[in-house]
Amino acid sequence: MNKNKIGIFLSLLMLMGLYSCGTQTSNKKLLLNEVLINNQSNFQDDYGIHSAWIEIFNKSYGSADLAGCLLKVSTQPGDTITYFIPKGDVLTLIKPRQHALFWADGEPNRGTFHTNFKLNANTDNWIGLFDSGRKLIDQIVIPGGILAENQSYARVSDAADQWEVKGETPDKYVTPSTNNKTIDSNAKMEKFEEHDAIGVGMTISAMSVVFTGLLLLYISFRIIGKISVSLSKRNTMKAKGIDKHEAKELSQAPGEVYAAISMALHQMQDEVHDVEETVLTITRVKRSYSPWSSKIYTLRGLPNQFKHSTKR
């Protein structure tokens, strides 16, 4: 009975896991960011040809891979064309907050970023981006006839919800493979410059930051030094078997004790490292004479009998 209950419980867990995997939301890192349909003189591909293009933006702060994803386009009801983004190209990995540009030129043999479809400037263009699991990530419908030559339909800024036509005015220019909205000025900097034209406030602020950092470094090193010294003392006391009470008594010893210890050390050093005399004394050593070591009694000399016989 218990085995049946355990089996039913495990089966329910597996079903819940499969259901949660099946209902997992699609990846929302990648978004369709800008589309240009009628390209006459705007931007050239790697073959030097002006073609329509589709920009995809990675809004996350981590890399996202387009390999295996699908780009689908429909200009007429029922004529959806699908482009499978090939795998194995390292350039399909989009870095954080970066863009990827696909050329809608109908020439997929030219490379990974050349699709098998074209866009029609006179009709509505539906563009959908699907992940490798065939789940819709993002889609956009570009109304027909609203874009003139070299104009794009883009988000107001990267990953924004609002779309607008770019290329009509100088402040709204087409931005392939870059941010849709470029900030030319900084309001905070302009306000600061207005109130501090000479730069005295900036100088004081910078010096305050530097001195504050140096003060914090001094305090931190002082604290770390004290902690390291206390740890070293504790380890030494532990190695020599001295407890805190004995160490406190030693630290509170009277001055006479330290004076006696210093005098003993001084005397010990003087005895070990005494000053040698600079006067040399040479003393002649007188050795006692022994015939056993005399050379005149060696065999090199002639015997007495031999000397007497030669004289006769």
As a whole number, mean pLDDT of residues 200-220 equals 91
Long-range contact pairs involving 108-111 (C-beta distance under 8 Å, separation at least 24): 108/83, 110/45, 110/46, 110/47, 111/46
pLDDT exceeds cutoff 70 at 306: no
At how many degrees (to 10) do helices 200-240 and 187-195 cross? 110
Q: Which of 48-62, 93-107, 177-191, 288-302 comes out lowest in average pLDDT? A: 288-302
Identify the three-state secondary structure at position 141: strand
pLDDT digits (tens, 9 = 90+) for 236-261: 878 877 777 766 666 666 677 777 87
Total residues belonging to the chain: 312
Structural domains in the chain, CATH included, are 26-183 (2.60.40.1260), 185-249 (no CATH)
CA 60 to chain centre: 18
pLDDT at 277: 66
Instruction: Give all strands of the β-sheet with 99-104 in edge-to-edge order.
Output: 99-104, 52-58, 30-36, 152-155, 163-166
State if pTM tops 0.75: no
pLDDT digits (tens, 9 = 90+) for 160-204: 999 999 998 888 899 999 998 876 666 777 777 777 777 788 888
3-state helix, strand, coil in the chain (%, to 5): 40, 20, 45
pLDDT at 192: 73
pLDDT at 25: 38
- Residue-wise burial string across 1-38, b where 16 or more C-beta atoms lie within 10 A, e elsewhere: eeeeeeeeeeeeeeeeeeeeeeeeeebebbbbbbbbbb
| Gap between the Cα atoms of 137 and 26, Å rounded | 6
pLDDT at 74: 93
Cβ burial of 158 (10 Å; 0-12, 13-18, 19+) is buried
8 A C-beta contact, residue 175 and residue 155: no
Q: How many C-alpha atoms does 63 have within 13 Å on its Cβ side?
A: 8
Most confident range (mean pLDDT) of 17-31, 177-191, 224-238, 272-286 is: 224-238
Smallest CA-to-CA distance from 34 within 190, 147, 193, 189 is with: 147
| Amino acid symbol at 85 | I
Smallest CA-to-CA distance from 28 within 58, 55, 65 is with: 58
Gyration radius of the chain's alpha carbons: 48
Mean pLDDT of the chain: 81
pLDDT at 171: 83
As a whole number, mean pLDDT of residues 10-38 equals 66
As a whole number, mean pLDDT of residues 197-221 equals 89
Residue with tokens 């049946």: 4
Q: Which of 140-144, 161-165, 208-212, 243-247 comes out lowest in average pLDDT? A: 243-247
| Gap between the Cα atoms of 248 and 245, Å rounded | 5
pLDDT digits (tens, 9 = 90+) for 41-55: 999 999 999 999 999
pLDDT at 245: 72
Higher-confidence residue of 79 and 13: namely 79
